[in-house]
Amino acid sequence: MAETKKLQDLFLDTLKDVYFAEQKIVETLPEMEEAATSVQLKDAFTKHLAETKVHVERLEQVFEIIGEEPEAKTCDAILGITDEGAEIMEEYEGSPALDAGLLAAAQAVEHYEMSRYGTLRTWALELGLTDAAGLLQTTLDEEQATDLALTSIATSVVNQKAEG
C-alpha cells in the first residue's frame, strides 16, 4: 500500500522545487542581462540576480528549520519558462522588441515565484513553522517588488521602444 502523503511532504517537495527554480534563475539572469539593451532592464536583472542569491540562502535556512538538507528537485515549470526566455533571446536578437520579450519572460518567472512563495508561506503557517513563514514572506515581498519594478520599466521605456 502506498505511503500516505501529508501537507508536510508537499511542503518539502515544493520547497525542493523552488530551490531548483531559484538556482536556475541565478544561472539564467546573467544571460538575460547581457542580452538586454535597455540600461534600466540590465540594472533590474543585475539587482534581481543579487536578490535571487539571497533567496537561495533563505531557502537553505528554511531547510535547516525543518531539519532537512537542502535538495533541489527538477522544476519543469521553471525550465519551460526559462526555455521560452532563451527562445525570445534567439528569435528577437537585434530587434526593437527584444527587451519587451525579455521583460515578459522575467515577469513570467516572477509570477511563478510569487505563486510558490505564497503557497509555501501559507503551508508553513499551517504547519506551525512561523520562522520559515517569515523567511518565505520576506522573499515573497521582494518578488512582488521586482514584479512592480519590471512593470514600471515596461510601461515607461521598453514597450514604447518595442513599438518603434
Longest CA–CA separation in the chain, Å: 62
pLDDT of res. 40: 94
Place of cell 544571460: 31
Beta-carbon contacts of residue 29 (< 8 Å; ≥ 6 apart): 45, 48, 49, 52
d(CA 139, CA 156): 26
For residue 2, pLDDT beyond 90: no
Contact 54, 107 (CB under 8 A): no
Tell me the per-residue pLDDT of 77-136, one tens digit each, with 9 for 90 and over.
Answer: 999 999 999 999 999 999 989 999 999 999 999 999 999 999 999 999 999 999 999 999
Beta-carbon contacts of residue 95 (< 8 Å; ≥ 6 apart): none
pLDDT of res. 68: 97
pLDDT band at 13 (very low <50, low <70, confident <90, very high): very high
Percent of the chain with pLDDT over 70: 99
Structure-block grid coordinates of residue 96:
526593437
For residue 1, pLDDT beyond 90: no
Query: What letter does residue 97 receive in the DSSP assignment?
Result: T
